[in-house]
């Protein structure tokens, strides 16, 4: 039986009458470059493409990482059911750019509408999904309630909830229970998430622990011609990458690299900010600190004197992981929560990370248990770890252990695929029975 919540009722009442506020929010976001002017109507639930005939599965992912974790699953679904249309939504301009390059041509991408009932109803009335699949942790109440009201089965895949988020949801009384009760199945990344979701009121019969879809994702792509060109330019120079760094981390990484250069003068650092638009600010930091560097967004390439290559480009992590046998994963020396370690693991790179990895605690624990990843605390310990891994045999041993952990993830995708196909077939059977 579906749970009820006064707070949810009040939220939905607000959502029904907040169109004017939503328009002002969109105007402000557009002015700050956070919306695509050409596709702004999609945020109002107005589709920019026609809905094809036949069954349609809708996937929603909040961000780039969540969306990328779906690519292998989408590929498998399309192999099993060529008659299906797949719709993918996200909410950021960055994720739209990445999905535009990575999604197959016949998969439809749209921006998700704001959580305003009128916008949501317009979206759902147009697309009429036969199955709706959320990923990880972004739960918009109006979208969930309206999707359920239209009779569309719903799943939550790759579910993850932090301790802080669970605590915040508990403050909202029965609202979490009321929303979670509308999902037919939740596949959680780990036991801790499952326990927290049960504590919020999710029925144990509707949740299973499967691991993370990111574990079963295909390796990040790259341009092989560029890899060969950069490899020739680098020659035998030792290289390491600081991937997906955030504000406050570049200083620590650069201090570590300066120490590395004292023992390995020819070493080069690929510095890859999580948000490429920060590239200009990081370039100023490099210039003021006296580094010899090249900046990818300007078209510059590294030469034999380059100490730091500022790789402020989007969607090229697969290239840097292939070129560097040592990877430091950013968002972990500052309190961001870390980033997906399976991406470097799948590409043969030894992994270093800081103490702030709450988003991937279970995965990092597994990697560390088999000496496939190593935690550092500051610039000094990062420099020592990089120095040690400049020994190719030590780096190769760590990288091989990481690859073995990452290569076991196909079963996670299999379980998600089977669950999706089962619910879609049941939906189709119910529709046939209703029509007879």
- Known catalytic residues are 66
Spatial separation of the C-alpha atoms in residues 126 and 71, rounded to whole Å: 24
- Residue 176 tokens, joined: 């979490």
Do the Cβ atoms of 141 and 115 come closer than 8 Å?
A: yes
Spatial separation of the C-alpha atoms in residues 276 and 405, rounded to whole Å: 30
- DSSP secondary structure, 295-353, as one string: EGGGT----TT-SEEE---SS-HHHHHHH-SEEEESSTTTTS----THHHHTTT-EEEE
Beta bridge pairs of residue 86? 57
For residue 149, what are the contacts with CB-CB under 8 A and spacing of at least 6?
none
Beta bridge pairs of residue 374? 352
For residue 376, what are the contacts with CB-CB under 8 A and spacing of at least 6?
328, 333, 352, 353, 354, 382, 384, 385
Q: Is 221 left (phi over 0), alpha (psi -120 to 50) or beta?
A: beta
Angle between helices 71-80 and 410-435 (to 10 degrees): 50
Closest CA to 23 of 43, 2, 1, 46: 43
- Judged by DSSP in three states, 424 sits in helix
């Amino acid at each position: 039986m579906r749970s009820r919540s006064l707070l949810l009722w009040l939220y939905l009442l607000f959502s029904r009458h907040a169109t004017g506020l939503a328009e002002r929010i969109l105007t402000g976001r557009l002015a700050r470059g956070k919306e695509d002017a050409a596709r702004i109507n999609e945020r109002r639930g107005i589709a920019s493409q026609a809905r094809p005939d036949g069954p349609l599965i809708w996937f929603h992912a909040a961000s780039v990482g969540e969306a990328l974790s779906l690519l292998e699953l989408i590929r498998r679904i399309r192999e099993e059911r060529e008659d299906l249309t797949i719709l993918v939504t996200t909410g950021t301009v960055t994720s739209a750019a990445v999905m535009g390059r990575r999604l197959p041509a016949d998969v439809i991408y749209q921006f998700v509408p704001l959580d305003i009932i009128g916008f949501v109803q317009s979206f759902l009335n147009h697309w009429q999904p036969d199955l709706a699949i959320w990923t990880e942790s972004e739960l918009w109440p109006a979208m969930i309630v309206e999707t359920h009201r239209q009779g569309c089965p719903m799943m939550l895949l790759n579910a993850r909830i932090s301790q802080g988020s669970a605590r915040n949801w508990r403050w909202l009384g029965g609202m979490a229970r009321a929303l979670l009760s509308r999902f037919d199945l939740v596949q959680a990344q780990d036991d801790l998430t499952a326990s927290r979701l049960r504590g919020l009121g999710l029925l144990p019969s509707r949740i299973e622990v499967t691991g993370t879809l990111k574990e079963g994702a295909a390796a990040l792509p790259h341009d092989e011609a560029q890899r060969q060109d950069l490899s020739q330019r680098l020659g035998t120079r030792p290289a390491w990458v600081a991937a997906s760094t955030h504000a406050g981390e570049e200083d620590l990484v650069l201090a570590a690299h300066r120490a590395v250069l004292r023992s390995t003068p020819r070493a080069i650092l690929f510095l890859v900010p999580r948000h490429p638009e920060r590239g200009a600010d990081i370039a100023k930091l490099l210039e003021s600190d006296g580094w010899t560097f090249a900046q990818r967004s300007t078209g510059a390439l590294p030469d034999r004197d380059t100490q730091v290559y500022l790789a402020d480009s989007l969607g090229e992590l697969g290239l840097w992981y292939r070129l560097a046998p040592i990877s430091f994963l950013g968002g972990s020396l500052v309190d961001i929560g870390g980033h997906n370690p399976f991406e470097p693991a799948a590409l043969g790179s030894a992994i270093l990370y800081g103490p702030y990895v709450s988003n991937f605690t279970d995965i990092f624990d597994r990697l560390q248990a088999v000496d496939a990843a190593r935690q550092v605390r500051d610039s000094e310990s990062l420099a020592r770890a990089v120095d040690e891994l400049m020994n190719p045999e030590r780096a190769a041993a760590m990288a091989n252990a990481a690859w073995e952990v990452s290569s076991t993830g196909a079963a996670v995708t299999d379980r998600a695929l089977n669950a999706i196909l089962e619910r879609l077939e049941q939906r189709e059977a119910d529709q046939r029975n209703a029509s007879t």
